[in-house]
């Protein structure tokens, strides 16, 4: 017996963490990715959480390409604030 299963990704959101490349922010970005994935990764509307190094001095979270949360990368990075912002934005998507 052969069963063909097709998984649709329509309506699934991509979450990206953009951070200043070549700085101390990569470990912070990895921590934020793990937290977001831990809190939101099992949702059926989340496709994944990726890291996106940037030439800009930023630390931002984007959902579907829209920056939804940024913080001053020279300050302490509150990863739980990033989780809250992503959760809020996901609740607004159709």
Distance CA 44, CA 77 (A): 27
Collect all residues with Cβ–Cβ distance below 8 Å to 47 and sequence separation of at least 6: 9, 12, 13, 14
Record the pTM: 0.80
Structural domain boundaries of the chain?
A: 13-92
Distance CA 58, CA 12 (A): 25
- The predicted pLDDT at position 11 comes to 64
Residue range 53-75: average pLDDT? 92
- The predicted pLDDT at position 40 comes to 84
Check if the beta carbon of residue 82 is closer than 8 Å to that of residue 17. Answer: yes
Closest CA to 31 of 72, 74, 76, 62: 76
Topology of domain 13-92 in CATH is Glutaredoxin (3.40.30)
């Amino acid at each position: 017996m052969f069963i063909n299963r097709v998984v649709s990704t329509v309506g699934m959101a991509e979450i990206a963490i953009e951070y200043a490349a070549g700085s101390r922010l990569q470990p912070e970005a990895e921590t934020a990715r793990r937290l977001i994935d831990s809190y939101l990764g099992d949702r059926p509307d989340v496709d994944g959480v990726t890291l996106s190094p940037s030439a800009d001095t930023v630390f931002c979270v984007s959902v579907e390409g829209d920056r939804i949360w940024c913080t001053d990368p020279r300050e302490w990075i509150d990863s739980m604030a990033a989780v809250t912002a992503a959760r809020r934005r996901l609740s607004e998507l159709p």
